Structure 1
């Protein structure tokens, strides 16, 4: 556990049931917001694409091979991030989300720092991520951490690909 004041970052699973429920709520908020930003009409979990609905309903299975980091305040999950299992010396960061009520408190930065430490401990040489172009605050955060924009490995329109050598 990485404790920094009011918010701690823990590796999930193995945490209290409230953290698991909180993780599902964070993933739901992330996916619903993303779909809205892309102009999709999903306003309920049942309207999300199958893959995203599966992550929300059963994150333990959806991320079975990955490291899931959850930021908690007390027993409330306030942020999350997934680090994919290493493949070819690389991992990918996915699903970084902070509850809006906990933004501007360093939660995302702590999650990223914990993810990079996990990647380094796992022998990963490169960590990559993709982010929607309109998420300028997230892009600025990634750049402050040291990520740089790179050639795309995912050719969806409006997606920015970034990477960092660990």
Structure 2
């Protein structure tokens, strides 16, 4: 089940946990792929702490959706409104439930909820998720991010039926 997160309640803890897992995995991949130096400690960079510790504050004004299986929150997607629509900032399904449609369901919720274009950036080595985005109609576009290993993609609101 995909639903809007209640970040004023128990969803805040689950979203913080999932985002922490997402960020740890991403930081590890960046080091493994040469996109970032190895950190001095395993602590998350300070820029990410608020998302983990206080998602209600970090995501104020952002639609946040969670996926539940058997009453447990197992996935999250965060949408950040921007000038042309929304940007997907965090899309994560727990590795324990991968292959069960959680990521697809969250992506579909993001596309449906997004007003205007939906855009995102994804690390080039995440080929499985790039294929998922392309299967939903996202196309690669010129980068808006200076980091060279990022693929920028857009889903045009004009393509919705």
TM-score (norm 2): 0.88
Question: Helix, strand or coil: the match of 2:73?
Answer: strand
Matched, 1:23 2:15: yes
Matched, 1:80 2:76: yes
Q: Deviations over 1:93-126 (max 9, x none)?
A: 111110001000111111011111111xxxx221
Q: Deviations over 1:45-83 (max 9, x none)?
A: xx2112211100110000001001110113311011101
- Where structure 2 has 5 or more consecutive residues not aligned to the other structure, the ranges are 32-37
Equivalent residues of 1:98, 1:108 under 8 A apart: yes
Matched, 1:156 2:147: yes
Equivalent residues of 2:7, 2:56 under 8 A apart: no
For residues 90 and 42 of structure 1, do their structure 2 counterparts lie closer, same or farther at Cα, with a shift above 3 Å needed? farther
Q: Specify the alignment match of 1:100 in structure 2.
A: 95
Q: 2:3 aligns with which of 4, 10, 23?
A: 10
CA distance in 1, matches of 2:8, 2:40: 30
Question: Helix, strand or coil: the match of 1:54?
Answer: helix
Q: Specify the alignment match of 2:123 in structure 1.
A: 132
User: By how many angstroms is 1:90 displaced?
Assistant: 1.8
- Where structure 1 has 5 or more consecutive residues not aligned to the other structure, the ranges are 1-7
CA distance in 1, matches of 2:49, 2:25: 14
User: By how many angstroms is 1:14 displaced?
Assistant: 5.5
Equivalent residues of 2:12, 2:54 under 8 A apart: no
TM-score (norm 1): 0.85
User: By how many angstroms is 1:16 displaced?
Assistant: 5.0
Q: How many residues align?
A: 151
